Amino acid sequence: MTDIEERPNFYENQYLEASDLGAVVTYSAAQLARHQLGGHRWGIALGLDLREVAGPDNPLDVFVQPGYAWDGFGRAIVVSEPAKLTGDLFTAIDAEFVPGNAPRAVEVWLRHDEQLTKGPKPGFESCDQGASFARVHESFRLEVGPRPQIADQRDPVEVGGRTFDAARTLTTFDPAALLLADTSVPHQMFPDDAGARWLIPVGVMMWLPGNPGNAVARTPTVIERSARSRQYCGVIAGSVEALGGHVRVHDRSLAYSADVTDELLWVEGAARIDGHARIYGHRLELVRAHGENPRIPFHVARVDDVTTKKLQLVIGDSDKGTNRLAVGPKNGVDAQTGDDLYAEHLVVTDQARVGVGTSEPKAPLHIPADGLEIGTSAVPADNFYIQSNTDGPRGLRVYDGDIGAGTHVATFTRTGRVGVGTTDPTSVLHVNGALGVRQNALYMSGDPRWSSVTFNAHHNASNNDWVFPDLSKPAVTIEMDNAGGWPRFEVYSTLLNATSTWRSRFRVSGDSGDVGMAANGGNVGIGTYAPTVKLDVRGDVRFGPIGAFVPVAAPVGVRVAWGTVNPSAGVISGAGFTAAKLSKGRYRITFDVAFPVAPTVVVTKVFGGLSVNADNAVRPLENAIVDQILDNSAIIATCDDTGAKADSSFCFVALGPT
């Protein structure tokens, strides 16, 4: 078992030696050191700041101000008056002097020092001159320069007969333990060596190396670095008991607050937490001033019930719009009051209104004209954003891509127009692009040259071909355009067994006025959906300039064959027949298509040539008669004025059922 210091014990008539009196001092010093290191972290207790003072002939002197500290061996260090950092401390730095080099930031350290003083009076000397001193002068020493290694800053401590760096006090005996960050070890064996090193950082100064060098004023950056480098003492405790119901955390360089409130912990200054902060069963409350009355509720609380878990943010106790949550950066200080000023980029009011980019939201969600981006994809085309802008007339617009770099998709103007693919719609609904509009299987597609309204088909995006979405079904289209260079209205369809092959069924030429139908097969029915011939009219037909003429209605369909034949059986005019001369004054008319039954044939003779007016030479007795009627032919006989057969021109009409 390692010995530690013994507590001296005295009795009557005891013979006291110098070691007995020394044990009293050693024991007292050790217990004080253990108390210092057990309840505190080593470091600066008060003072010991660096101060720059203009010296004689205006060189700058740097002093360590009076103060108190103790080191990791529990030794008190007292600086009772300002201590100057003299030039001899910087000899090693001046040795590196190179003309033109800039000033250097130099660390300043404080350490314990002691000297034996007050030797024996003459005649009382002993052989052991080293022990013949009646006093130990405890003081301090200043050092400067970098100490990059821990071993250069402090000597190891001794515990259980083993020496190691103070940070490894716990891990040396228990590898699973943590490092001792504060390095205050109260159970160590304190060193007998008065020169044991433990440096306390007190700040950073500026030194210009030279021959000799000199101190220069610190920059703001070095002043900040100096403040961060100082090591202050701290309190080590597992419990802090409040006296009078309050524990005060206070910067001792500032005046105490005069306000008295009922909280257990008073932190008179900013607070920092490098870890989790948990509030159990209560709320985090933000109060404007100590004496605020009534206290307006602004707080954050966890509010749970049987079924839900809720984080409640409270902004006031009313819904008048006067209380709100605002998010934004600090953007200055009020020149009159000195209060910080803040931008309000996000505002939530007590009336359940949210404003983004506006301090006065007028709706449940109010965002600026710059708009809203939707989507978080790394592929910009997978995202969308919405803006109110003047990319065309003022309107609300949707773009694909990231905000500011997307492609326009749709526009809603303030005049009530909607544009798809256009930023300037000219109608209530304006769709730009050959793909057009779709309603289930009905499409409106095309461009200013070629446009269609189609069932089960539409133009492609280049407007140079058709797309058939469902080849199991036929398609029908109405074309309205000038694709042929003239205004056109035309109807096409595909076939049941060829669903991608178009056939024209009806056409109107807007330029000539021509109307055509059934050009690619099929019949036309009027009064019927099942026409049996090319034109099947079920009912009367009116014709003439004002529709005054009505043909005789026939009970069945009527077909006509007619013509004019010359004396040699040559066809002068007519259709639906051929003619042949059988003998003198006899001709056969053969119908191109036989009638179902023998038709009615009417014939008359032409006196002379067709275009000749014979006047008084005409013989009314000359005539032509029908000699025979068959379903496919008829025989015609012509005669002279005596009734004898004679060759002659004649005209005929044959009427029969279809």
> pLDDT tens across 503-540, in order?
999 999 999 999 999 999 899 999 999 999 888 888 87
- What lies within 8 Å, CB to CB, of 153 at 6+ separation is 109, 147, 197, 198, 199
pLDDT number for residue 195: 87
Residue 621 pLDDT grade (very low, low, confident, very high; cuts 50, 70, 90): confident
For residue 557, pLDDT over 90 is answered with no
Question: In sequence order, what E strands does 372-510 have?
Answer: 372-374, 384-389, 395-400, 407-413, 418-420, 429-431, 437-439, 442-446, 451-455, 458-459, 466-467, 476-481, 488-495, 498-509
28 to 7, 32, 287: CA distances (angstroms): 8, 6, 50
242-284 pLDDT, tens digit each? 888 899 998 888 888 888 888 899 999 999 999 999 999 899 9
Among the ranges 19-28, 403-412, 534-543, which has the highest mean pLDDT value?
403-412
Backbone angles phi, psi at 447, to 5 degrees: -140, -175
- Reading phi first (left if > 0) and then psi (alpha if -120 to 50, else beta), residue 538 is in beta
Measured distance CA(313)–CA(297) in Å, rounded: 10
Helix (H, G, I), strand (E, B) or coil at 92: helix
Q: Both tokens of residue 283?
A: 């709320």
pLDDT number for residue 484: 87
The answer to whether the peptide bond before residue 294 is cis (omega within 30 degrees of 0) is: yes
312-360 pLDDT, tens digit each? 999 988 888 889 999 999 999 999 998 899 999 999 999 999 999 898 9
Beta bridge partners of 340: 333
406-448 pLDDT, tens digit each? 899 999 999 999 999 999 999 999 999 999 999 999 999 999 9
For residue 235, pLDDT over 70 is answered with yes
pLDDT number for residue 479: 96
Nearest to 428 by CA among 445, 410, 413, 440: 413
Q: Both tokens of residue 620?
A: 């009314």
pLDDT number for residue 2: 56
For residue 127, pLDDT over 80 is answered with no
Residue 130 pLDDT grade (very low, low, confident, very high; cuts 50, 70, 90): low
Backbone angles phi, psi at 178, to 5 degrees: -95, 160
Mean pLDDT along residues 578-593 = 96
Domain boundaries, given as residue ranges, for the chain: 18-235, 369-432, 437-522, 558-657
Q: Both tokens of residue 167?
A: 């940070």
pTM of the model: 0.58
Measured distance CA(201)–CA(108) in Å, rounded: 6
Q: Both tokens of residue 411?
A: 């526009």
Task: Count how many Cα atoms sit within 13 Å of the Cα of residue 269 in the half-sphere of its side chain.
Answer: 10
Residue 654 pLDDT grade (very low, low, confident, very high; cuts 50, 70, 90): very high
H-run or E-run covering 110: strand 104-117
CA distance between the termini of the chain: 139
Provide the residue type at 474 as one letter. Answer: P
pLDDT number for residue 148: 87
Residue 123 pLDDT grade (very low, low, confident, very high; cuts 50, 70, 90): low
- What lies within 8 Å, CB to CB, of 18 at 6+ separation is none
CATH for the 558-657 domain, from 2.60.40, 2.40.50, 1.10.760, 2.40.128: 2.60.40
pLDDT number for residue 617: 64
For residue 129, pLDDT over 70 is answered with no
Q: Are 240 and 247 in contact, with CB atoms under 8 Å apart?
A: yes
Q: Are 236 and 38 in contact, with CB atoms under 8 Å apart?
A: yes
In percent, the amount of the chain with pLDDT more than 90 equals 66
Nearest to 384 by CA among 404, 405, 365, 398: 398
Nearest to 597 by CA among 636, 624, 557: 557
For residue 495, pLDDT over 60 is answered with yes
pLDDT number for residue 653: 95
244 to 239, 248, 263, 300, 512: CA distances (angstroms): 16, 11, 11, 29, 109
Q: Both tokens of residue 222?
A: 């070095």
pLDDT number for residue 553: 59
- Reading phi first (left if > 0) and then psi (alpha if -120 to 50, else beta), residue 74 is in left
Q: Are 526 and 534 in contact, with CB atoms under 8 Å apart?
A: no
154-204 pLDDT, tens digit each? 999 999 999 999 999 999 999 999 999 999 999 999 998 888 999 999 999
H-run or E-run covering 19: helix 18-39
pLDDT number for residue 125: 62
Measured distance CA(107)–CA(440) in Å, rounded: 81
pLDDT number for residue 604: 92
